[in-house]
Structure formats: C-alpha cells, structure tokens
Amino acid sequence: MSVLPTGPALVTVLTAILMFGLAFQVGRARIKHRVMPPQMTGPPEFERTLRVQGNTLESSVPFLAVLWVFALTVSQVWATVLGLVWIAARVAYAVGYIRSASGRLPGFMISTLIFLALMLGSLVGLLLDLTRSPSAP
C-alpha cells in the first residue's frame, strides 16, 4: 500500500490529461482554420479554443497547489471529490466556450467556486495545523 494520497494524485494526473487534450484541440483548430504557428489570431472559434487552453493552464497551477494543501490539511476524500468536479467543470467550460463566449459561464462559475472553497479550506487547515503544532524549542 502506498502512502501517496491516491485520490489527489488521480486528480493531478487527470488534470494533466485535460491539459494535454486541450493542447491537442488547439492543434486541431490550427489545422481546421489554417492558423499556423506562430500566429495566435484567426477566426473566433480558433481564438476561443486557444483561450480555453490558456485559461485552463493558468488556473491549473493554483488549483493543483490548493488541492494538495487541502488534501494534506483538511481531507483527502473531499479534495478528491472537489477536484473531480473541478475537472468536470473545466470540461464544461471548454465545450461551452469553444461554442460561444457566453457558453463558458457555467463551467467557469463552478470551477471558480471550487477553487475558492479549496483555497479557503487550505488556509483554515493550515491555521488549525499551526495551532496544533508543538512549539519549537
């Protein structure tokens, strides 16, 4: 049996898979819309696809940080559940945003609320852990 928190580790790997999938979608959109590197502009659908990948990459770094702090200081189970819902929300965000700019809102709102819950929970968990820690000599 591993001492690794398996649930949060699974969420981390699934987040990496999501990022790989979104990068692949950008590649497909480049071919479909004939927008070759290093160009970063093109038809609106291409630009939305590119923003989905960029926005998700930007939000993944702080998400993974608070996911792990939450898992280690509050609950691995709840970190896993919230992490899986965050991934589902980011998929909904991607699908909605690629279709239309307004389509991003449900996935964005859910993933933002989950991030805030993980962040606040992490802060509380850290503060509680600090109050329980023995004093340094």
Task: State the DSSP code for 133.
Answer: S
Task: State the DSSP code for 137.
Answer: -
* pLDDT tens, position by position, 7-43: 999 999 999 999 999 999 999 999 999 999 999 999 9
Range of the domain at 60: 6-131
Number of domains in the chain: 1
Is the distance from CB of 115 to CB of 66 less than 8 angstroms? Answer: yes
Residue 60 burial (CB count, 10 A) = 20
* pLDDT tens, position by position, 40-93: 999 999 999 999 999 999 999 999 999 999 999 999 999 999 999 999 999 999
- The answer as to whether 137 is a domain residue is no
Q: What is the pTM of this model?
A: 0.92
CATH number, position 112: 1.20.120.550
Give the integer Cα–Cα distance in Å for 29 and 51.
12
Handedness of CA 94, 56, 81, 20 (dihedral sign): positive
Mean pLDDT of 104-131: 97
- The answer as to whether 1 is a domain residue is no
- The answer as to whether 24 is a domain residue is yes
- The answer as to whether 136 is a domain residue is no
Task: State the DSSP code for 4.
Answer: S
- The answer as to whether 103 is a domain residue is yes
CB burial class (10 A; 0-12, 13-18, 19+) of residue 25? middle
Give the integer Cα–Cα distance in Å for 64 and 83.
9
Q: Which of 115, 1, 116 is nearest to 64 (CA)?
A: 115
Residue in the block written with tokens 């965000």: 93
